[in-house]
Structure 1
Amino acid sequence: MTNTDVSARLLRWFDRHGRKDLPWQSETSPGQRDAYRVWLSEVMLQQTQVATVLAYFERFVAALPTLRDLACADEDTVLALWSGLGYYRRARFLHRAAQICVEQHGGELPRDFAALAALPGIGRSTAGAILAQAHGLRFPILDGNVKRVLTRYHGIDGDLATSAVERQLWLHAEAHTPVRRVADYTQAIMDLGATVCARSNPRCDACPLAGECVAFREGRTAQLPARKAGKSIPTRATVMLVLRDTRQRILLERRGPQGVWSGLWSLPEATDADDAWRIAQRHARIDDAQALAPFTHVFSHYRLNVEPLLFDQATARQEVADDAQLRWCSAGDLAALGLPAPVRKLLQHLTAEKNLRSA
């Protein structure tokens, strides 16, 4: 099958089965999609599935409908809107890139490929996706779904992370990208990878490329792309302090710039119960502590066992007001802050439980 045949088959498949009603696909003028919405969707879809992204996308653009709105927002607002999507560095890059666009590009995403790809969080594939989908410009993409399609179709062995394999995939991506209907083709090959050429149990019987797919012909769809050797992830433990004062406010601490949840507001942490008491006494006058149900949160590189410890009816010390990294927050305040998803869930559960007992 020629490169033209590949794109033609994908476009025919897309016309019948592709996703055409996604909220970032709406056009501002014939053939022109809103580059800001396309960019936001591309960043959100990194490491996250469409079904999960939809609600976050709608909430984000309702609060920050334009690139200038994003650039002018404070970081807490951006992180609060992102809270639950994870990989928070994406949100910070998005925020900083919007500010650079206002400072250097007239408040718009640049249409020049090099300038666009140079923005924080926008690499070659994301830049190509924005220019192809928003402006119909002929640029290839190579996200995870596309890599899987091309690896199987061409029967490419080897680790996808190596530069040699990546160069090979980019050559194929470039060759298959058509001159016309670039936006539809870009969506088509992403849709094919997401809905048909899935990582597990691909639906080869529904694939328009199955007839010439090397992996399908050789019975190697389970082996391609080559999987990295599995490795066990370490387990860490922490005690989270839930300090709740007599006004039902919770003490939050802004995390540092390094490590997971960097820059988010979270609960103070301790190494063990004794350490938790020492930290709690620095911030408030306390009488008792109650162990809450422990839980485990899994990151990409380690597992975190959390033991929450509730210090209820605490009396806030003045020192907290003098520390910019600490703040007492009401239930209403929490909605406007970027909180790690498990912390937000824990606090929502506590609030609901308190309301039930008060009813």
Structure 2
Amino acid sequence: MLIELKNITEININAFQNDLISWFKSEQRDLPWRKDQDPYKVWVSEIMLQQTRVDTVIPYFNRFIEWFPTIEDLAEAEEDKVLKAWEGLGYYSRVRNLQSAVKEVKENYNSKVPSTPEEIAKLKGVGPYTAGAILSIAYGVPEPAVDGNVMRVLSRILSIWEDIAKPSTRKIFEKAVRELISHDDPSAFNQALMELGALICTPTSPSCLLCPVREHCHGFHEGVQNELPVKTKKTKTRHVQLASAILLAENGKIVIHKRPSSGLLANLWEFPNVEIVHPLQADREEVAGQFNQSLNLSVKLDHIIGQIEHVFSHLVWNIKVYTGKICSEFVESDEWRLVSLAEMEEYAFPVSYQKMLKLYQEQK
């Protein structure tokens, strides 16, 4: 550990803190979760910002806080409404874990977000980064909040050549933050590191000439800022071919299906679909047969109205989109519903199925 942090002894830590925090206080973006230091709002924003861009999160955050302004409101909300508020943000396990953890806070901590590392780390879905962000931003506790942005910034500043794709490397950067963090203003310090990574010290073509801590940066002085951080590539993604259909019943309503309660996109709603193992051999009749065999749905498929690609972190869905009709009596259940287009607004769908619905409406 000492080897990786050898350059930290050459930094004037007070000067580094002052330069970084001063820049942040004058240049920080006006973001809704920065209006106050409410731990609940910080928590919601940090969960939303995982794997999602700031510009995308802003309207979701505002709506979420409007629907669930307090911990009690979120703890007591129906899961379907919570998923609807999250619809389009993806990685739905994030919001399920958030609601579970919020229920813990309501029951065990009198609706007050814990303010110690030991207690907050016990909450479901709260990892080291989220815990550090809440503790430092909301409570002023000098805890590290190390995400990809922070690792990129510090790998350049301290010329750290460890592979940031390895989980064990995070400990190196957490140690670095503990040595560098301002104990007078840990909230501004951690937010400043994140902001620096978002605005200046970007993944490609960092704006070094605009950087407030350039004079402290070993990567810049060594001319290696574009080679850092070291990050091995992810494993190859898997491609899956699906056929999905917008199926009408005799009453003109559309068939929707609720996904299983665990696994990918758990408990979200979708249009009926099947995986096509041999895409080149799958004509319309064969796909209809798979609907019958796999889903016990007797259907008549009309035609393909489009194709959608949806990319997950580890998986790519290629979806052929059909229209069609149900050919037998349809029995509704907890997992299968018939809904009108207006009623569909009440159900949370993954982005891929929202795209399908848009395709269908454009064809009408």
State the TM-score, normalized to the length of structure 1. 0.90
| Residue matched to 1:302 | 315
Q: Say yes or no: does 1:10 pair with 2:20.
A: yes
Moved over 6 A (4+): 281-285
Post-superposition Cα deviations, 1:288-330, rounded to whole Å, max 9, x if no partner, equal: 5221211211111122111111114x467243x2x32111122
Mapped partners of 2:288, 2:71: distance in 1:
42
Distance 1:316 1:51, change over 3 A: farther
CA contact (8 A) 1:140 1:173 kept: yes
Q: Say yes or no: does 1:26 pair with 2:35.
A: yes
| Residue matched to 1:81 | 85
CA contact (8 A) 1:241 1:276 kept: no
Mapped partners of 2:298, 2:163: distance in 1:
56
Distance 1:164 1:86, change over 3 A: closer
CA contact (8 A) 1:157 1:226 kept: yes
Output aligned runs, 1:204-223, within 5 Å: 204-223=208-227
Q: Which of 64, 70, 83 does residue 68 from structure 2 map onto?
A: 64
Deviation at 1:52, TM superposition (A): 0.8
Seq. identity, %: 32
| Residue matched to 2:279 | none
Mapped partners of 1:291, 1:165: distance in 2:
48
Mapped partners of 1:47, 1:70: distance in 2:
22
CA contact (8 A) 1:44 1:53 kept: yes
Mapped partners of 2:113, 2:316: distance in 1:
38
Aligned AA (2:360): L
Output aligned runs, 1:72-151, within 5 Å: 72-151=76-155
Q: Say yes or no: does 1:271 pair with 2:281.
A: no
| Residue matched to 1:350 | 360
Q: Secondary structure at the match of 2:152?
A: helix
Deviation at 1:269, TM superposition (A): 1.3
Q: Which of 278, 302, 312 does residue 289 from structure 1 map onto?
A: 302
In structure 2, the gaps of 5 or more residues are 1-10, 277-283
Post-superposition Cα deviations, 1:10-68, rounded to whole Å, max 9, x if no partner, equal: 0111122122x2111122xxxxx111111000000011111110011111111111111
Q: Once structures 1 and 2 are overlaid, which stretch shifts more, 280-289 or 98-107?
A: 280-289
Q: Which of 245, 248, 255 does residue 244 from structure 1 map onto?
A: 248
Mapped partners of 1:136, 1:97: distance in 2:
21
Aligned AA (1:307): K
Mapped partners of 1:129, 1:353: distance in 2:
46
Deviation at 1:135, TM superposition (A): 2.0
CA contact (8 A) 1:241 1:280 kept: no
Q: Say yes or no: does 1:44 pair with 2:53.
A: no
CA contact (8 A) 2:155 2:161 kept: yes
| Residue matched to 1:175 | 179
Q: Say yes or no: does 1:233 pair with 2:242.
A: no
CA contact (8 A) 2:19 2:212 kept: yes
Q: Secondary structure at the match of 1:289?
A: strand
Q: Once structures 1 and 2 are overlaid, which stretch shifts more, 202-211 or 180-189?
A: 180-189
Mapped partners of 2:184, 2:288: distance in 1:
62
Q: Secondary structure at the match of 1:292?
A: strand
Output aligned runs, 1:153-172, within 5 Å: 153-162=157-166, 164-172=168-176
| Residue matched to 1:357 | none
Deviation at 1:257, TM superposition (A): 3.4
Mapped partners of 1:15, 1:208: distance in 2:
12
Distance 1:161 1:315, change over 3 A: same
Q: Secondary structure at the match of 2:141?
A: coil
State the TM-score, normalized to the length of structure 2. 0.88
CA contact (8 A) 1:252 1:266 kept: yes
Q: Which of 321, 324, 337 does residue 334 from structure 2 map onto?
A: 324
| Residue matched to 1:189 | 193
In structure 1, the gaps of 5 or more residues are 28-32, 355-359
Aligned residues: CA RMSD: 2.1
Distance 1:141 1:297, change over 3 A: same
Mapped partners of 1:278, 1:189: distance in 2:
52
Paired positions, count: 345
Aligned AA (1:327): R
CA contact (8 A) 2:246 2:323 kept: yes
Distance 1:315 1:124, change over 3 A: same
Deviation at 1:241, TM superposition (A): 2.1
Post-superposition Cα deviations, 1:164-185, rounded to whole Å, max 9, x if no partner, equal: 5322211111111111222222
